């Protein structure tokens, strides 16, 4: 595949630009790896062209590799500051890594270079993050018809956020009511947006959409689900538990409420309570191997090695390819001192990339630590922390990986202590 890209790039005719050729190759590529290779070759062949670094940055964005995307897109903007799309993509990457002020600067420069109004929602999100609520109100008042074409509620959603930030309850209520008039299924739409942001590992954005979804319809199970799981990723554990309890009451026929409540209780340092919940779920839903997989994971967290392995093996017999089953198996094997088996199971889930939560990477890191494989432990724990930096157990795991590698554990230990205190949990001593 790589050879084909090079040949075609060298065969450009005068009426077909190099960028056209590379974009055609990207369109024809069958996998993410092929598209990444194509873009890497383009940056090697055209290192001084902003577009090549833009295309590479877009590939990193698609792969949710946001720090790498920032580097590529910064280079694109450096080479071609007039490229409005490059600045917008850079803003997107910067937002994903929590550099909101820089993201807003890039986006505003993009608008000055002709960026279209489809990016106004991102601008509003950035203004909200930076608590510039008066500017957010001004933006809402000045939105063009093009900006409102796909979502007529956008201006009122911005006003809702701004008035809420300013403590104006009456304004908040007016804006929400108007948004619901314009989009009757507002809760479903915002829950859908939250789901998309969650799947892109942009958990704070997911929370912001989910919060509005809950406000639009407090009885929406979809809204409660998105709200709870984004809160969990943000380390707001007691709020997450409350959201999952509410979800269980709104949709008792679904497993998500109690299952995610159990996972939250593990993070809160209450694995015994989590086991009680998962035992009930397993009885109510005996035919779902994923439930037994998570039950095995929870039992392992509670230190019940025999029961964890029994649950994992039962689930494995039904569906050996389910990532939840494999994660449960990895956790069960680890607590049963089968470090190699645990590592292999977790490594498979990580390689398949079926989840963005960082849980598979955490279990892989724990197994790697027990095997003494410091490089893999640090890489996996770092990735796990990147997905949920406010979960104290993730930070503690990173500290253990650092200690194994002979690195300074001060920063992850301090982060673990802060996260544990915020969650009302007493974290174990740091290595």
Tens of pLDDT along 138-186?
999 999 998 999 899 999 999 999 999 999 999 999 999 999 999 999 9
**Residues of the chain below pLDDT 70:** 1-16
Asked if the 1-130 domain carries CATH number 3.10.50.40, the reply is no
Domains 1-130 and 338-431 share a fold: yes
pLDDT at 11: 39
pLDDT digits (tens, 9 = 90+) for 312-358: 999 999 999 999 999 999 999 999 999 999 999 999 999 988 789 99
Q: Are 394 and 415 in contact (CB under 8 A)?
A: no
Of 55, 113, 114, 112, the closest CA to residue 89 belongs to 55
Q: What was the pLDDT predicted at 314?
A: 93
Plot region of 388 (φ>0 → left; ψ -120 to 50 → alpha; else → beta): beta
Count CB atoms within 10 A of the CB of residue 145. Answer: 8
pLDDT computed for residue 427 by the predictor:
75
The predicted pLDDT at position 4 comes to 36
pLDDT for the residue 14: 35
Q: How many angstroms separate the CA atoms of 380 and 165, rounded?
A: 37
Question: How confident is the model at residue 431, as a pLDDT?
Answer: 86
Determine the pLDDT at residue 36.
95
What is the domain partition of the chain in residue ranges?
1-130, 338-431
Which one, of 292, 431, 267, lies nearest residue 362 by Cα?
267
Tens of pLDDT along 213-241? 999 999 999 999 999 999 999 999 999 99
Rounded distance, CA 375 to CA 367, Å? 12
Helical spans, DSSP H, in 97-168: 100-112, 120-129, 133-141, 154-166
Q: How far is C-alpha 330 from the geometric centre of its chain's CA atoms?
A: 22
- CA gap 299, 91 in Å, rounded: 42
* Both structure tokens of 295: 């039950």
pLDDT of 16 reads 54
Max alpha carbon distance in the chain (Å)? 70
Res 29: pLDDT: 87
Out of 3.40.1350.10, 1.25.40.10, 1.10.3720.10, 3.30.70.60, select the CATH number for domain 338-431.
1.25.40.10
């Amino acid at each position: 595949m790589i050879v084909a890209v090079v040949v075609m790039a060298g065969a450009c005719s005068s009426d077909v630009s190099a960028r056209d050729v590379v974009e055609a190759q990207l369109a024809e590529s069958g996998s993410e790896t092929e598209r990444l290779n194509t873009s890497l070759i383009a940056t090697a062949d055209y290192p001084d062209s902003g577009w090549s670094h833009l295309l590479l940055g877009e590939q990193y964005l698609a792969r949710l590799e946001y720090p790498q995307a920032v580097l590529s897109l910064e280079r694109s903007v450096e080479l071609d500051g007039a490229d409005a799309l490059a600045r917008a993509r850079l803003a997107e990457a910067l937002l994903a890594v929590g550099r909101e002020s820089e993201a807003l600067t890039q986006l505003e420069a993009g608008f000055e270079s002709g960026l279209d109004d489809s990016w106004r929602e991102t601008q509003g999100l950035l203004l909200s993050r930076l608590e510039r609520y008066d500017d957010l109100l001004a933006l809402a008042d000045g939105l063009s018809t093009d900006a409102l074409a796909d979502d007529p509620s956008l201006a009122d959603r911005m006003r809702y956020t701004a008035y809420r930030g300013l403590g104006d309850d009456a304004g908040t209520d007016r804006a929400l009511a108007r948004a619901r008039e314009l989009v009757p299924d507002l809760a479903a739409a915002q829950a859908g947006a939250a789901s998309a942001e969650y799947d892109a590992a942009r958990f704070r954005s997911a929370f912001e959409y989910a919060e509005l979804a809950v406000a639009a319809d407090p009885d929406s199970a979809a809204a409660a689900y998105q709200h709870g799981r984004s809160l969990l990723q943000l380390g707001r554990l007691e709020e997450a538990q409350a959201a999952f309890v509410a979800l269980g009451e709104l949709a008792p026929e679904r497993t998500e409420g109690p299952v995610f409540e159990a996972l939250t209780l593990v993070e809160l340092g209450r694995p015994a309570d989590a086991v009680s919940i998962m035992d009930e779920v397993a009885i109510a839903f005996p035919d779902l191997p994923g439930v037994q997989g998570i039950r095995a994971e929870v039992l392992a967290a509670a230190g019940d090695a025999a029961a964890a392995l029994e649950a994992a093996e039962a689930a494995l017999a039904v569906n050996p390819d389910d990532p939840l089953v494999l994660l449960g198996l990895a956790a069960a094997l680890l607590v049963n001192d089968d470090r190699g088996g645990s590592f292999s199971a977790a490594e498979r889930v990580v390689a398949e990339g079926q989840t963005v939560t960082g849980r598979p990477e955490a279990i892989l890191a724990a197994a790697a630590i027990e095997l003494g494989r410091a490089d893999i432990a640090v890489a996996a724990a770092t990735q796990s922390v990147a997905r949920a930096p406010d979960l104290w157990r993730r930070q503690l795991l990173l500290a253990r990986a650092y200690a194994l590698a002979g690195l300074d554990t001060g920063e992850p230990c301090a982060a673990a202590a802060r996260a544990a205190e915020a969650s009302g949990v007493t974290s174990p001593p740091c290595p």
